Structures are given as structure tokens and as C-alpha cells.
Amino acid sequence: MSTEPPPSLTERRKAATQLDIAHAAAELFATQGPHATTAEEIARRAGVALRTFYRYFRSKQDAVSPLLTVGADRWRALLEATEPGTALGPALRTAVEQALAAPDAEAADALLRTRGLLRAVADDPALRAVWYRVNQESEERLVPVIARLSDGRGGPLEVRLVAAAATDAIRIALETWAGTDAGVEGPGSPAELAVHCLRRLIGATDAWGSVGEEGEGGRR
């Protein structure tokens, strides 16, 4: 469980402004493409001055990073809330299913916004670099969470491999879903694809519980 102090009011306002800018950038990128979008347009859509935009972001592509980070933070928080010693596979699956679920219109809109953004990623190398950077940072932050869940039964290499596989499972699932017209729930949804990717990358569901139980180097 995280022991970090809650953010201050100033920090929350800053985060809210950054997310507003990220939403504006994602909407413009999805509708007119990154190449046709300027930082000035993003700032205007977000209702902030251009100098405020550049106070937070170095480029127009970088502006979407808070939006991409939200999903990773959500599913990592769900994992952090899991009791130590819980079978790792089912814990990962449950967290992914909850994080990528669309129980209401707001959650569905967030996923659809991500789809539009990921479709734009394919046509812009700088935007794609932001997407990969966010995933790399998510993987690094996931390592101590996986280590805690393994409760000392998994070695550093195994923990890191699980963190990498879990992060890639979600990334590949979202990228695959973005290239289709599947809905946010049911067959072909982000949650279904992510669970499928987890099974393929980490192992069958029954074997997930053994992750972290084989000791250093993954041997019994």
C-alpha cells in the first residue's frame, strides 16, 4: 500500500490543468491528426495561455502524456490494493479487468478517447515515442508493486519480467483494439484482449498462481 502523502491543493490544480490540456490535445489529434494540430490550438481548446502550455509541456505530442498515464496509474493502484501473498496471476487479471472496464459513460468515453489517440500514434513518430515512454515508466513503477505481491518469493529477474510482460500485455491489447471497431465491452474489448495477452505472455491462468513461488531464477 502506498505511503506517499496526498497531493497539495496546488499540485491537484496543476494536475487538473495538465489533464485538461491532455484531453484537448487528444481530441484534436484524433479528429484532425497530429501534423495538422498546433500547440496554439491545443492551448486554445484547453482554455489556457500558450505560455501555460509550455510551462507544462515541451511539445504538442508530450501534452498527451498525462492522459496516457491515468490508465496506468489506475491499474497499478488496483494492484497496490491487493493483499501481499495473493496469487499473482489472478491479481493481475482482476486489476486489468477493472481498470479497462467501462461500467459507465465516463469510462466508455475515456476508452474511446484513448482509441482515437492510439490511431493517431501510428502516423506520428514523436507521438509514438511518448506512448512508448509512458509504458516504460509504467513498467518501472510496476516493479516494486509486483515485488511486494510476490512477498519475497520471486527473484529480481522474475519480478521484472512479470512487470514487463504485464505492461506489454496491456499496451498490445490497447493497440490491437484501437485498430478495430470492437466495443468497449464484450468480445474484442480492451479488457478481454488484455486478459488474453496476459495469459499468452505470463502463462495459463492456473499457472499464474505459481509466479513468484519457484524461488530465485524461477526454479523449484
Between CA 12 and CA 48 the distance in angstroms is 16
| CA 53, 33, 73, 213 torsion-angle sign | negative
Grid coordinates belonging to 201:
505472455
Domains of the chain: 60-218 (1.10.357.10)
**Residue listed under C-alpha cell 505511503:** 3
**Residue listed under C-alpha cell 497530429:** 34
Q: What is the pLDDT of residue 213?
A: 40
Q: Grade residue 3 by pLDDT with cuts at 50, 70 and 90.
A: low
- In tens, the pLDDT along 170-200 reads 999 999 999 999 999 999 999 999 999 998 8
Q: What is the pLDDT of residue 122?
A: 85
Question: What 3-state class would DSSP assign to 183?
Answer: coil
Q: How far is CA 15 from CA 18, 67, 115, in A?
A: 5, 11, 22
Mean pLDDT of the 202-217 span = 43
Mean pLDDT of the 41-49 span = 97
Q: pTM score, two decimals?
A: 0.85
Grid coordinates belonging to 91:
491479481
Q: Which residues of 138-151 are buried (b: 16+ CB within 10 A; e: fewer)?
A: bbeebbebbbbbbe
Mean pLDDT of the 119-124 span = 90
